[in-house]
């Protein structure tokens, strides 16, 4: 049995977060973004990150019933925000966050230096000597070591 689309539209409008269904939808999607975009949280700070998540969840309806697919447009959303125009790299970090979380794509192309920046953020290393060059693209792939653990590897495109 399928419910009419209008039923879902009412839930997805998020007009009344005291409504248990809207609150559940909101909280689950908010938590999904928090879980996936770890480097973005580190760059923006917790409070700013939560502000942008709140705005995104209110605007972006889920396209898939699979909650793990929610947020694939978060990078574009962040890059569209005027407040973040000086942080052009945020879009690339968000794309890498989603790529690492999803792990279904074989590779992704991002500007040189993004993987280094992302790795230092995630591993809480000193952020010195970070150089991002959008004129040079890297192919970033997910590989496995001898123990079967995943890691990211970059190779420059010519």
| Tokens found for residue 98 | 């989603």
Is residue 15 exposed (0-12), middle (13-18) or buried (19+ Cβ within 10 Å)?
Answer: exposed
According to the model, what pLDDT value does residue 78 have? 98
Which residue, among 138, 118, 140, has the nearest Cα to 130 in the 3D structure?
118
According to the model, what pLDDT value does residue 13 have? 57
According to the model, what pLDDT value does residue 11 have? 47
- Integer Cα distance of 21 and 104 in angstroms: 30
Tens of pLDDT, residue by residue over 8-47, are 455 455 556 567 787 888 899 999 999 999 999 999 999 9
pLDDT less than 70: residues of the chain? 1-18, 157-158
Q: Strand locations in 80-146, DSSP E?
A: 107-112, 133-144
pTM of the model as a whole? 0.85
């Amino acid at each position: 049995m399928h419910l009419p689309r209008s039923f879902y539209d009412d839930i997805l409008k998020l007009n009344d977060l005291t409504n248990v269904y809207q609150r559940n939808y909101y909280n689950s999607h908010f938590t999904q973004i928090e879980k996936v975009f770890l480097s973005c949280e580190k760059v923006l700070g917790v409070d700013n990150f939560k502000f942008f998540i709140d705005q995104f969840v209110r605007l972006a309806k889920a396209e898939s019933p699979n909650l793990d697919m929610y947020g694939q447009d978060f990078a574009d959303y962040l890059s569209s925000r005027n407040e973040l125009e000086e942080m052009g790299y945020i879009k690339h970090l968000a794309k890498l966050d989603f790529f690492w979380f999803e792990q279904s794509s074989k590779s992704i192309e991002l500007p040189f230096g993004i993987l280094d920046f992302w790795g230092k953020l995630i591993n809480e290393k000193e952020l010195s000597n970070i150089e991002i060059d959008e004129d040079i693209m890297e192919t970033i792939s997910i590989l496995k070591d001898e123990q079967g653990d995943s890691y990211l590897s970059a190779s420059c495109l010519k």
